[in-house]
Structure 1
Amino acid sequence: MRRDTFLKSMAALVAAGGLPLSALAAANIKMMIPANPGGGWDTTGRALGRALQEAGASSVSYDNKGGAAGAIGLAQFVNASKGDPNALMVMGAVMVGGIITGKPPVNLSQATPLARLTSEYNVFVLPPNSPHKSMKDVIEQLKKDPGSVKWGGGSRGSTEHIAAAMIAREVGVDPARINYVAFRGGGEATAAILGGNVTVGGSGYSEFAEYIDTGKMKGIAVTSATRLKGVNIPTLKEQGINVEIGNWRGVYGAPGITAAQRKELTDLIIKATKTKVWGEAMEKNGWTEAYMTGDAFGNFVDNEFASLRATMVKSGMI
């Protein structure tokens, strides 16, 4: 039997009550990754996809759609996936920040919150041939000529963008004067840093870890309250800059799915987080467990909108 015929037959059986909903939900997961390949969302989405297959999904397909802090992918997801119990979308704090700054015509409230998965902190790095040696050097240049310091990172409103604005404010520089260069995905940002096209780069630690370990980037600060486990990079607070900000990532379902379909997807995701392949991804990328599901996760996202907006206002971003 052809695969498309098989899937249509299963759908018909579900509609007729001949198969449990889980059989359809596990048939072919379609994962929207609202960023270009190579970044944190891409890594998270593909790791989750492998874990979902280990947990029972027969296949997982991926669609990378970068731009506007995930808003372009979100728009496609909202408009094309209505009522689809097999559709998932990776998202996180970056998307929340991007929606606040970009004010796109679509919003997360149009999709269905399923689960928060991970959290991690950001790291700031220097290119391999940078004349600077530390965050202190970067700050000195920032104070002399704010526009001459190119901060490279994710989309406008990303946690590294907010952190850069907070740093400027803390050291007495107008945050509106920072020269922030936004990239559509982690791959583009990494290439710009390695090529010396920005003064300092920022992202989740997992995205830069291999380059830091091999000496291709120099880590100069992390945005955590204390040093990351096993990572010899000072915090911003250690260096007299009172800035702390974290990142998190989660997954949403399509608009208009039923409560039963939402539960089926959530149960499958929870099962996936208990697999060996997901555990290996967590360890490899240095992610911290931050599991939260259902309405609790939806309320968390609502609170994040309020919290990040207040931080952006305080930092002079909006």
Structure 2
Amino acid sequence: MRRRQVLALGAGLVPLVAGCGSGRGPRERALASSTVSVIVPGPQGCGADRVARSLRGLAERASLVRGVQVVNRPGPTALAEFAETRTGARRLLMAELGTVGMVRPDRQAAAFAGTTPLARLCGEWELIAVPAASAFGSFGAFADAMRRDPAAVAVAGRAEGGVDHVMFGMLAQSLGVDPRLPHYVACRSGDDAAGAAAGGLAAAVVGSPAGLGERLRAGELRVLAVSAPDRVPGLDAPTLLECDTHLYCADWRALLGPGDLPDDDRDALVGMCRSVTETASWREHCRRNGWAPLYLDGDDFGRWLGVESARLSKAFGDLGLRA
């Protein structure tokens, strides 16, 4: 099989973790006495919200900041509010993969232009699963069916234009299939999507380990492949790379500052992110929530974010989606 490369995380897969040191400079001390607002483009309880609230609890507990106010807004509203942010407001944005889809199509490739990238905190890998009794015994069998007659393959996932849909579109493209041909069954939640597959309404389901976990544990579904670059501990499934499909895709969450953020303030906020993500408590939060620790900051994160935005813009266009 000819390997097709569709890379979603790029060179930023390797976490960059740097020590912060015990001393605090003037900006760090100023941050420790300040309250920071984090705008979340989604409702309370969504993935980005859980990451923001975990960051808040750990940063406050370590006295890295006096307080973090998590502000939930509908996606487009959140982006509009953040675009109006000015230095001194200490208002940040918790961005994620789906945030790119909330931007006008002609601006998606540079979705985060005018912001200050701070840090990519974590992400969730995607699973491709089928009902336990499915005739697809391997990812290869599923891929062959997609190539033969993509319109006959129904795949369930969460909302149209969300991470599951985008992941499936990139997967189809990596197999040489027009992403608009397979039938995508959009569901309200990962569990609903898993139920659609288990109930015979879809041949397969794309979703996060957390969303599919209950039905996987019950034996209703089995995993064909995972979108991580390496095997996921505790999950008996090959990576897409092992299946000759070079696709990495995570539902990442990252913290951004306003575009006119002074360098010293940026460094202090990056230091806060580093300090939080280096703790055992953060690692426990990641383990409990099924998050992969994909920490990245500095110029490397800024470059990665630009490449990722362009890739996602192309994926949305290939699916025929519009903001």
Same fold per TM (> 0.5)? Answer: yes
| Percent identity (aligned) | 24
- Can you give the 5+ residue segments of structure 1 that lack an aligned partner in the other structure? 1-18
Does residue 149 (structure 1) correspond to residue 159 (structure 2)? The answer is no
Report whether the alignment pairs 1:284 with 2:292. no
| Residue 190 (structure 1) aligns with | 190
| 1:198-209 paired onto structure 2 within 5 Å | 199=202, 200-209=204-213
Match of 1:245, as an amino acid?
Y
Distance across 1 between alignment mates of 2:291 and 2:159: 18
Give the drift of 1:173.
Answer: 4.0
Match of 1:9 in 2: none
1:89 is matched with which residue? 93
The question of whether the paired residues in 1 share the 8 Å contact of 2:156 and 2:193 is answered with: no
Structure 1 counterpart of 2:80, from 59, 72, 75:
75
Task: Look up the match of 1:3.
Answer: none
Corresponding position: 1:174 with 2:181? no
The one-letter code sitting in structure 2 at the alignment partner of 1:242 is: T
Distance 1:267 1:161, change over 3 A: same
Deviation at 1:115, TM superposition (A): 0.8
DSSP-derived class of the 1:177 partner: coil
Match of 1:54 among 61, 65, 70: 61
> What residue identity is the alignment partner of 1:268?
M
Identify the structure with bigger relative contact order (alpha carbons < 8 Å, sequence gap 6+): 2
C-alpha deviations, 1:125-172, integer Å up to 9, x for none?
457xx874646469748855627614323552x543233123334556
| Separation of aligned partners in 2, 1:137 and 1:312 | 23
Tell me, yes or no, if the aligned pair for 2:126 and 2:249 is still in contact at 8 Å. yes
Q: Describe the shift of the 1:243–1:274 C-alpha distance in structure 2 as closer, same or farther (beyond 3 A).
A: closer
> Which stretch has the larger CA shift, 146-155 or 257-266?
146-155
Residue aligning to 2:31: 25
Q: Which residue of 2 aligns with 1:42?
A: 49
> Which one has a larger percent helix, Structure 1 or Structure 2?
1
> 169-178 vs 82-91, which deviates more?
169-178
Q: Can you list the C-alpha shifts for 1:15-49, whole angstroms capped at 9, x where unaligned? A: xxxx9554553432222221234443223222222
CA shift for structure 1 position 307 = 3.9
Q: Taking structure 1 as the reference length, what is the TM-score of the superposition? A: 0.72
Give yes or no for the alignment of 1:270 onto 2:278.
Answer: no
Shift of 1:284: 2.3
Which SS does the other structure have where 1:233 is aligned? Answer: coil
1:85-112 Cα distance to aligned partner (Å, 9 max, x none)? 53222113333465485747x9411222
The CA deviation at 1:311 is 6.0
**Structure 2: segments with no counterpart, 5+ residues:** 1-24
Task: Provide TM-score, normalisation by structure 2.
Answer: 0.71
User: How many residues were matched structurally?
Assistant: 287
RMSD: 3.8
Tell me which of 125, 128, 147 is aligned to 1:124. 128
